[in-house]
Structure 1
Amino acid sequence: MPMPSKPPPPLPTRDGVSASFVWVPEGYWENALEFLCDYFPEVSLETWTERMQKREVCDSNGHFLSPISQIKRGMCLFYYREIPNEIKIPFCEHILFQDEHLLVVDKPHFLPVTPGGGYLRETLLVRLKRRTQIDHLTPLHRLDRETAGIMLFSKQVQSRGAYQVLFQHQQIDKTYHALAPHLDHVSFPLQKKSRLVEGPQFFVMQEVPGEANSETQIHLLERRGAFSMYELRPRTGKKHQLRVHLASLGAPIINDTFYPIALPHGSDDFEKPLKLLAKSIAFTDPITGESRHFESQLTL
């Protein structure tokens, strides 16, 4: 049976970090401490005990839990996630525009949009929550950690759905710039279509035979010696779509650590950012009816 949707968090946002949560599944645990240690084996018993002593673990009603608190299936437990020795990202985001409903940001390379894995405070969302003090700030679309450029955030719960519909119905015009090897024997503009699926290697996509589920329009902007600047206009939004499409044409984006060959995890080199930039985004505002166009101030 699927768990219900997340209830409102009883723990406040702390320094830009919202409380994480976990649903208690079917099973038996003597108490809350035993469950948390079993469910999160990478977090020590001492750490969970300390969090409980600091009143940082509670149920959905805001009742703080002690190590011996009883739990049962279907309970939702809230807690503050922590990452010791989190890697610092030495690049800053820049707010380009904001009104009552939207916040538009230039995201730097290497900065994740949302918390996950080894990143929490060093994410665009947490940085912006801390900076704006807007607890319910929410990203409206995805952007790879390695990619820089335009990101849109919703500031209002009430209007969020109207903007999300634009992305779901592909009513957003997105343009990317990429620096990659020059393709001598390709005529531009080019419509690249293929079927993308999850590859056998973690987080890597691959092209396979079958009906196309991804499409990118590729234009040649300028030649730079052995490389060229390409303008990419995705018609679909598959994960890593632009990176896979260029790599499959024989022009992997400069400094791509996934395509055509995935390098070991943790191989970031801050001196060698992926040469991919979300350059602009345009749409008709569903609230005001205005034509919106936002352009990154970054360049490759």
Structure 2
Amino acid sequence: MSRRTRPSPLPPRDGVDATRVVVRADGCSVGEVLSAAPSLAGLGAGALEDRARAGEIVDIDGRMLALEHPVRRNSTIFLYRDLPDEPPIPFDLPILYRDDNIVVVDKPHFLATMPRGRHVVQSALVRLRRDLGVDEIAPAHRLDRLTAGVLLFTLHPQVRAAYQSIFAQRRAVKEYRALAPARSGLADTVTVRNRIEKTAGDLRALVADGEINAVSEITLLGPGPGPGTDTGTDTGLYRLVPHTGRTHQLRLHMALLGVPIIDDPLYPDVRPDLARLPDDGDFTRPLRLLASSLAFDDPLTGERREFISALHLNGAAR
């Protein structure tokens, strides 16, 4: 069992959590650690001094830290960072269901599940916190930023572990739909089994030797609607059922079968021109992958729940 991370002593500010910086070496001061943190790139010495004077740089117990204060390896520092300049994602975040414990949304393409790197305010988590006025909202699982569809959040910490366990223990039934080149041999379900690994700093996941940790069922349902492919081949509509949850699993498995998902900027090859489009405000080429349904037995009530996306594979609502 993994060690549970203690919550931040600083509350969210306008829906955004304080930044957590872990000290990786001994013999450093608070200021030295923060100046070298990649997540705080662009935050200058003056801005750090302002935060220290305002008491907005603290340790795990909420004690204020001076910039010259020495810190130990593996200790944690918290502060609020400046928000990046982000192109607004021009799609709504519809709520499919809400009760006292959970809220289920239909996440559009290009919207991150939660803040990461350059994508902070333009995330489903921050949007929901701001729209609902509930800072305790947290995701029970995640979807890639480029993947649209059904996404479940918990509304308060007391139920978070129960709902997260559905996904950790693979008790949730998830189906996806994808558009990709049609291949008649996939009309009968094909199961892909291999080992996927993804290393920090590498954009793509890779197949590796070793114990199998990624299993997907892939079925061609029929001709696909929407755009064709760059090669002019016919488009197929696929049902994808992941039995594990490795990063980029479905995208990599489709590419390995010779039917990469349409408008995938990473598989089978990296396409920087396609990846740059949303940063330039062009949202016309979404990855054609949709988390179309999610079903599970509610861990608190035992009730069977099923949620179905109302999005098309082009990202527009029906």
**TM-score past 0.5 threshold:** yes
Distance in 2 between the 1:82 and 1:221 partners?
46
CA contact (8 A) 2:216 2:250 kept: yes
> 2:277 aligned to 268, 284, 294, which one?
268
CA contact (8 A) 2:196 2:214 kept: yes
Amino acid at match of 2:106: D
SS in 2 for 1:268: helix
CA contact (8 A) 1:83 1:119 kept: no
Let me know the Cα RMSD of the aligned residues: 2.4
Residue matched to 1:252? 260
Distance in 2 between the 1:207 and 1:32 partners?
40
Residue matched to 2:296? 283
Please state how far the C-alpha of 1:210 moved relative to its aligned partner. Answer: 5.0
Distance in 2 between the 1:59 and 1:201 partners?
28
Please state how far the C-alpha of 1:132 moved relative to its aligned partner. Answer: 1.8
CA contact (8 A) 2:84 2:120 kept: no
Structure 1 unmatched runs, 5+: none
Please state how far the C-alpha of 1:179 moved relative to its aligned partner. Answer: 0.4
Amino acid at match of 1:62: G
Change (3 A) 1:200 1:95: closer
SS in 1 for 2:197: strand
Distance in 1 between the 2:199 and 2:14 partners?
37
Distance in 2 between the 1:84 and 1:156 partners?
27
Change (3 A) 1:201 1:173: same
Amino acid at match of 1:226: D
Change (3 A) 1:292 1:256: same
Please state how far the C-alpha of 1:211 moved relative to its aligned partner. Answer: 4.6
Q: How far does the alpha carbon of each residue in 1:30-59 deviate from its partner, in whole angstroms, 9 at most, with x for none? A: x53344224457332122123234442223
Q: How far does the alpha carbon of each residue in 1:198-243 deviate from its partner, in whole angstroms, 9 at most, with x for none? A: 3797131123455532221122222148001011111111111111
Residue matched to 1:48? 48
CA contact (8 A) 2:182 2:220 kept: no
Residue matched to 2:126? 126
What is the TM-score normalised by the length of structure 2? 0.84
Distance in 1 between the 2:276 and 2:57 partners?
35
Residue matched to 1:96? 96
Alignment of 1:70-85 (within 5 A): 70-73=69-72, 75-85=75-85
Distance in 2 between the 1:160 and 1:200 partners?
27
Amino acid at match of 1:129: R
Residue matched to 2:26? 27
Structure 2 unmatched runs, 5+: 225-232, 314-318
Please state how far the C-alpha of 1:136 moved relative to its aligned partner. Answer: 2.1
Change (3 A) 1:200 1:54: closer
SS in 1 for 2:126: helix
Amino acid at match of 2:158: Q
Q: How far does the alpha carbon of each residue in 1:6-40 deviate from its partner, in whole angstroms, 9 at most, with x for none? A: 444332221101112224454224x5334422445
Distance in 1 between the 2:194 and 2:58 partners?
47
CA contact (8 A) 1:82 1:120 kept: no
CA contact (8 A) 1:281 1:295 kept: yes
Change (3 A) 1:119 1:25: same
| Greater mean deviation of Cα atoms: 112-121 or 17-26 | 17-26
CA contact (8 A) 2:217 2:241 kept: yes
SS in 2 for 1:293: strand
Distance in 2 between the 1:199 and 1:9 partners?
27
Runs of 4+ in 1 over 6 A off after TM superposition: none
Q: Is 2:307 aligned against 1:294?
A: yes
Q: Is 2:194 aligned against 1:194?
A: yes
Amino acid at match of 1:164: Q
Please state how far the C-alpha of 1:187 moved relative to its aligned partner. Answer: 4.1
Residue matched to 1:204? 204
Change (3 A) 1:63 1:161: closer
Distance in 1 between the 2:193 and 2:37 partners?
42
Amino acid at match of 1:37: S
| Greater mean deviation of Cα atoms: 52-61 or 237-246 | 52-61
Distance in 1 between the 2:151 and 2:198 partners?
25
Change (3 A) 1:179 1:12: same
Amino acid at match of 1:99: D
What is the TM-score normalised by the length of structure 1? 0.89
Residue matched to 1:146? 146
| Greater mean deviation of Cα atoms: 249-258 or 122-131 | 122-131
Residue matched to 1:110? 110
